Amino acid sequence: MKIFINIIISMSCIYSSSLSLNGFGGENTKIDPAAAGLGHSILFSGRPNGVVQSAMSSQYNSPLAKIHISNNYNQLSILNATNAGHHISLIGFSFPFRRSHHISIGLSPKTRMDFSISQPQFKFVSGSENVEPLAIKHSYDLSGGISNLYIGFSSGYFDKIDFGFQWNILFGNLFSDVTTDIYTFDYDGENCISNSDGIYSNDACINTNPNSSSILNNTYNFNGHSLTFDGRTVFKLHEFAASITVDASLNVAKSTLNNSLSGENYLESVDEFSIGKFSCGYKFENLSGTGLIVEVQRNLSAYNSLTNQLFETKEPHSISLHGGTFKNFENSRIGFWNSLTVRGGFMLNQINYDTYSVQDNAITIGVGLIFLNNTNEVDISLSSGTRKTENEIYPDEKYINVNFGISSGDTWFKKIRRK
């Protein structure tokens, strides 16, 4: 089984990161472009009001009802081959109630896959006097993933501590279609010429069209929940924040069709509560709007007890260090724009699989503009990084991520006194 997994991943790396081929797809963590520009933080953004889309405890600081959308462009280069994709990362709506509470509702992908891969080389089956030799090649079409519909609550009711709660409703489908083409040999073909030792080049002797094809359609259906708690406290110029995600039940129903004629169904579930993620961080910001952040994130793969995962692989564990600095420029005049934020940062991430580890290191930059009387905002961030491993079967990966987000707000539910 390990050899099979290695073959799958090594042939897939030409088109997609091997990280996205584990478990149920690559995880979407860049939902806030401002935080992404600050070293891929999830607890801090560098905004003047401190709001972070990925941390509920900060959102009560906005007095506006807001709608926000962010998207991501990703370019990946492996073995001189480049692949690119553009996807929506988050659609959300939030609004305040009373003086110090906030409600958020949104939809984002938790995991995502959308690409096709093809085995670059044939696998050969030797023949005999009565059986012709065969060549086999596989191709894969992968799409879908787990979606996250969340409902969040943010409160600044207490003087020293702000807290937030988020209920994540997990659902969706992941499609994995496997096409197996079987080719025969034609030793009388024009290109099939033996060398001086009488040995044939098998690739040249393979017939152009497959002798037969089979299609295996695998569909994974997800239904589950998770809970995220986070909080923060501020002492003068210092801020401390922490977040923890508890993974609850998750049901995975897998159905398999072979050439659309016969099928099998599998159902697996995880009913126990376990910690999936943990993050803690520190921010320092002086009175002039210049600050820095340091953050540690830990992912623990709570669903690894499930055996029916993509390519029968499992999600890795990871621990990462994030750092960044930012500067806010306030516009002292009345005009179109109100504040400009410039960000920069880094990420050092170690991803641990069963038999090897991957070093994922990146640098980030970003800029954010708040305009039209502090009601609208545009954020853009750029990160460039490299993933490396000591295992020679996995080539280095170079990537560039561009995250873009826009939000628009207004004052709702405002009480108007009438005489």
- pLDDT tens sequence across 212-223: 888 889 999 999
| Count of domains forming the chain | 1
Given pLDDT bands bounded at 50, 70 and 90, which one contains residue 354?
Answer: confident
- pLDDT higher than 90, residue 97: no
Q: Is residue 121 part of a domain?
A: yes
Q: Average of pLDDT values for 74-96?
A: 86
125-144 pLDDT tens trace? 776 667 777 888 888 888 88
Top mean-pLDDT range of 27-31, 170-174, 299-303? 170-174
Judge whether 417 lies within some domain: no
Range of the domain at 199: 8-410
Q: Is the pLDDT of residue 281 over 90?
A: yes
For residues 168 and 225, is the Cβ–Cβ distance under 8 A? yes
Residue 397, judged by CB atoms within 10 A of its CB (0-12, 13-18, 19+), counts as buried
H-helix or E-strand spanning residue 315: none
- Kindly state whether residue 62 falls inside one of the protein's structural domains: yes
Whether residue 52 lies inside any domain: the answer is yes
> Which of these ranges, 33-47, 67-81, 204-218, has the smallest mean pLDDT?
204-218
Q: Is the pLDDT of residue 116 over 70?
A: yes
pTM here is: 0.86
Mean pLDDT of the chain: 86
- Scored b (16 or more CB within 10 A) or e, 307-317 reads eebbbebbbbb
What is the model's pLDDT at position 414? 61
What pLDDT does residue 226 have? 94
Those residues with Cβ within 8 angstroms of residue 381's Cβ, 6 or more apart along the chain or in another chain: 33, 34, 36, 37, 343, 364, 365, 366, 367, 401, 402, 403
Alpha carbon separation from 71 to 86, 123, 172 (Å, rounded): 7, 39, 19
Give residue-wise pLDDT tens across range 155-185: 988 888 999 999 999 999 999 898 999 988 7
Q: Which of 177-186, 297-306, 326-335 has the highest mean pLDDT?
A: 326-335
1 located within any domain: no
Instruction: Report if residue 416 sits inside a domain.
Output: no
Maximum alpha-carbon separation in the chain: 105
Give the pLDDT score at 3: 38
Q: Does 52 have pLDDT greater than 80?
A: yes
Give me the helices (H) in 299-370, please: none
Give the Cα separation of 92 and 90 in Å (integer): 6
Identify the pLDDT of residue 160: 87
Across 353-392, the runs of DSSP E, i.e. the strands, are 357-371, 376-388
Residue 56, classed as helix, strand or coil, is helix
Residue 148 placed within a domain: yes
Instruction: Specify if 415 maps to a domain.
Output: no
Q: Give the pLDDT of residue 290.
A: 96
pLDDT at site 199: 66
Nearest CA among 37, 16, 14 for reference residue 401: 37
Phi, then psi, of 130 in degrees rounded to 5: -105, -10
- CATH number of the domain that 290 lies in? 2.40.160.60
pLDDT of 289 strictly over 50 = yes
Alpha-carbon Rg for the chain in angstroms: 26
Least confident of 255-264, 303-312, 339-348: 303-312
Q: What is the pLDDT of residue 84?
A: 82
